[in-house]
Amino acid sequence: MATGRTHRPATRSRGIPEATVARLPLYLRALTALSERSVPTVSSEELATAAGVNSAKLRKDFSYLGSYGTRGVGYDVEYLVYQISRELGLTQDWPVAIVGIGNLGAALANYGGFASRGFRVAALIDADPAMAGTPVAGIAVQHTDDLDRIISENGVSIGVITTPPGAAQQVCDRLVAAGVTSILNFAPTVLSVPEGVDVRKVDLSIELQILAFHEQRKAGEDTTAEDEGAPPMRATPTGRKGPDGDMPAVMPA
Amino acid sequence: MATGRTHRPATRSRGIPEATVARLPLYLRALTALSERSVPTVSSEELATAAGVNSAKLRKDFSYLGSYGTRGVGYDVEYLVYQISRELGLTQDWPVAIVGIGNLGAALANYGGFASRGFRVAALIDADPAMAGTPVAGIAVQHTDDLDRIISENGVSIGVITTPPGAAQQVCDRLVAAGVTSILNFAPTVLSVPEGVDVRKVDLSIELQILAFHEQRKAGEDTTAEDEGAPPMRATPTGRKGPDGDMPAVMPA
DNA sequence: ATGTCTTTGTGAACGCGTGCACAAAGATTG
DNA sequence: CAATCTTTGTGCACGCGTTCACAAAGACAT
Ligand SMILES: NC(=O)c1ccc[n+]([C@@H]2O[C@H](COP(=O)([O-])OP(=O)(O)OC[C@H]3O[C@@H](n4cnc5c(N)ncnc54)[C@H](O)[C@@H]3O)[C@@H](O)[C@H]2O)c1
Ligand SMILES: NC(=O)c1ccc[n+]([C@@H]2O[C@H](COP(=O)([O-])OP(=O)(O)OC[C@H]3O[C@@H](n4cnc5c(N)ncnc54)[C@H](O)[C@@H]3O)[C@@H](O)[C@H]2O)c1
């Protein structure tokens, strides 16, 4: 922290670790809840518990913001809410476009949690001509033909892709060409984008597969180490389990 | 790799790094695509590109599986598909229960990508009595009152929570009590679970906020370093930007 | 059989993220 | 004002994950 009191508190901005950035929204959520209950201050310990993280980690995270806690007291809730919001860029509102208004796209469009955090659904775009004009969540769906114009006119820089996987890369290219520089991709596809464009993906299948892996491991360790009479340890799906154990399988020639 | 040929190829199972596990589904997806095109073998380089990762990382990942590549040739696609599927526990099918059949829950229920990867929607559960019996995606919604029985009867060990945030912890507790040991949580809540239960979360708002952070940083670095006449570099949302720059803000007393 | 050429599997170095543990800062009390 | 008590901010060490770079393994040609 270097004793010298540089009058600029926060601006260590350049260099907030990615892992920290990913946790800021978590802190913000917990702080917002406290703020609504009019709690004036929190200790790192309390807040860490609420956010589900280690308190030392939380303090270190805040130290990157140059944040002002008060030793012996804790952090000022309102002040932190503002600081984190600012750091995340949530003092502005971000117009977002959703492309591919099917099951998932429609669900997202209807989701209220967007607006409450500074994001505004500015446009819904779909390739199906039949959908053009149809209102979803109170917003008329527009056709892909106008994608470029829609993005430009609304100043959209964040795009959400909820099209089928086959269309994702193409849609992505068009979004980027139109000026979008951040993409949230729900299609199970690896998108390639030019430098300077951020892509984050949400993949339900991957999450489930990771869970399945651990689930299987739990089951396996039961049968290996512990006795089988362990009470509440299922983890053997669908009943079938029997003669399937190792299977040398296909093996290449 | 230790020259000695222990007849058991894979079973280095205990000790696959978490980061590797998280990438296996990615590889699997890429391999499945190759398999459908009847491609017999791939090099680590090709596969890595398809999966969007570094080839050295991919090779190291496979080495944890004790995988058999062939030097000078690459990996046998079918064999790898099987090995990874087995490692992830996808040779079995996993019955999944979705709790909270609203916008998102219904979208997930309708999603086809489940079944194709070894997961089966075994039950849809909602607290709204009006929904009980209503078919969603061809499955009748059941009432929360029967949650325990439903989980038990179907041998569900993976639960998906898509209820409002306020209900999430309670639903989680009931799922765990009923025998669920893996939870995928879409509600913006920190769930607390007993040891041995895995929780993964999907949080759209967090993803957007992370994107917003980087988006803002891109914009900020423009105004600092480069001239303002830069052509395709938007990243200033909603036009308003002016007298708002620093704002000493509330500051604690 | 020998040599060349391709590609794997991994040793080693590095960087990031995490968590412990504690000195210092400040509040609070007497 | 001094003593005490609480809680921050961070130095430090450790472990995980990533990446480079290369020896060895094997395919393939001659
Ligand atoms: N529904 C889910 O729960 C879920 C879960 C995980 C992943 N996903 C993925 O999300 C994506 C969407 O899923 P869904 O269930 O909503 O599918 P969906 O078929 O219901 O909707 C897709 C929509 O995209 C539109 N579309 C197709 N091509 C387009 C194009 N080139 N430009 C613009 N729009 C186009 C279609 O008209 C349709 O309205 C898929 O990639 C799917 O794999 C969905
Ligand atoms: N819709 C989205 O795109 C989206 C995006 C991100 C996060 N989320 C989160 O996902 C969750 C669901 O969102 P949604 O838009 O589908 O909400 P929704 O209101 O449409 O659906 C919630 C459903 O849960 C049911 N429910 C309420 N309490 C319950 C209980 N105790 N047990 C069982 N069921 C119960 C309700 O009857 C309703 O059908 C929310 O937590 C939301 O924050 C949604």
Q: Look at residue B176 and give its three-state secondary structure.
A: helix
Half-sphere exposure of B122 (CA within 13 A, CB side): 22
Interface residue A203 vs chain B (CB under 8 A): yes
Q: Which residue is nearest to nucleotide C19 (CA to C1')?
A: A56
pLDDT of residue A157: 97
Residues 108-137 of A with CB under 8 A from B: 108, 110-111, 113-114, 117-119
CA of A26 to the centre of ligand 1 (A): 28
Rounded CA–C1' distance between B184 and D9, in angstroms: 35
Give me the residue spans of the domains in chain B: 13-88, 94-204
User: How high is the pLDDT of residue A221?
Assistant: 67
The residue among B170, B169, B167, B126 whose CA lies nearest residue B150 is: B126
Given a cut of 90, whether residue A116 has pLDDT beyond it is no
Out of A51, A107, A220, name the one closest to residue B190 (CB).
A51
Q: How far B215 CA lies from chain A's nearest CA (Å)?
A: 7
pLDDT at position B5: 30
Protein residues contacting strand D, judged by Cβ under 7 Å: A 1-2, 42-45, 55-56, 59-60, 62-63, 67-75; B 3, 17-20, 53-54, 56-57, 59-60, 70-73
Name the least confident of A149-153, A176-180, B117-121.
B117-121
Inter-residue contact B99 to B161 (CB < 8 Å) = yes
Distance, CA of A118 to CA of A4 (rounded, Å):
36
pTM of this prediction?
0.88
Residue pLDDT, tens place only, B231-243: 333 443 443 333 3
Per-residue pLDDT tens digits for A82-102:
999 999 999 999 999 999 999
The pLDDT of residue A193 is above 90: yes
Task: Tell which B residues from 20 to 59 touch A, by Cβ distance under 8 Å.
Answer: 21-22, 24-26, 28-30, 50-52
Contact across the interface for A21 and B213, Cβ inside 8 Å: yes
Cα–Cα nearest to A180, from A192, A164, A168, A196 = A196
Q: Among A17-21, A55-59, A65-69, A148-152, where is mean pLDDT lowest? A: A65-69
Share the mean pLDDT of chain B: 86
The chain B residue lying nearest A70, using CA atoms, is B252
In this complex, the residue with its CA at the shortest distance from the C1' of nucleotide D18 is B57
What was the pLDDT predicted at B222?
60
- Strand positions, DSSP E, A112-242: 119-126, 135-136, 139-143, 158-161, 182-185, 198-201
Q: What is the mean pLDDT of chain A?
A: 86
The residue of chain B with its CA nearest to that of A73 is B252
Closest ligand 1 atom number to CA of residue A104: 16
Q: DSSP strand E in B168-242: where?
A: 182-185, 198-201
User: Nearest by CB to B181, which of A182, A210, A234?
Assistant: A234
The one-letter amino acid at A252: P
Query: Which carries the bigger pLDDT value, residue B246 or residue B146?
Result: B146
Enter the DSSP assignment of A130. Answer: G
Assigned CATH for B94-204: 3.40.50.720
Q: What's the pLDDT band for B117 if we cut at 50, 70, 90?
A: confident
How would residue A114 be classed by pLDDT, with cut points 50, 70 and 90? Answer: confident
Rounded Cα–Cα distance for residues B20 and B22 (Å): 5
Query: Of the ranges B7-16, B144-153, B175-184, which one carries the lowest mean pLDDT score?
Result: B7-16
pLDDT grade, residue A117 (50/70/90)?
confident
Range in A238-252, B156-170, B196-210 with the lowest mean pLDDT: A238-252
Pairing of strands B158-161, B94-99: parallel
Q: What is the model's pLDDT at position B53?
A: 98
Strands (DSSP E) contained in chain B are: 41-42, 69-70, 74-76, 94-99, 119-126, 135-136, 139-143, 158-161, 182-185, 198-201
pLDDT for A70:
96
- pLDDT of B25 reads 98
Please give the structure tokens belonging to residue A155: 């100043």
Res. B60: pLDDT tops 60: yes
- DSSP annotation of B239 reads S
B253 CA vs C27 C1’ separation (Å): 14
- Confidence check: pLDDT of B32 > 90: yes
Q: At the topology level of CATH, where does B13-88 sit?
A: Arc Repressor Mutant, subunit A (1.10.10)
Q: Residue A206: what pLDDT?
A: 97
Q: Is the pLDDT of residue B116 over 60?
A: yes
Exposure class string for A101-130: b at 16+ Cβ within 10 A, else e: bbbbbbbbbbbebbeebbbebbbbbbbeee
Nucleotides of C under 7 A from a protein CB: 5-11, 16-21, 24-28
Residue B238 Cα, gap to closest chain A Cα (Å): 7
Position A136 pLDDT exceeds 70 = yes
Q: For the segment A205-248, what is each residue's pLDDT rounded down to a tens digit? A: 999 999 999 999 998 866 544 433 333 334 444 433 333 333 33
Give the closest residue to D6 (Cα–C1′). Answer: A72
Residue B225 has pLDDT above 50, yes or no: no
What is the spatial distance, in angstroms and rounded to an integer, between the CA atom of B51 and the C1' atom of C10?
22
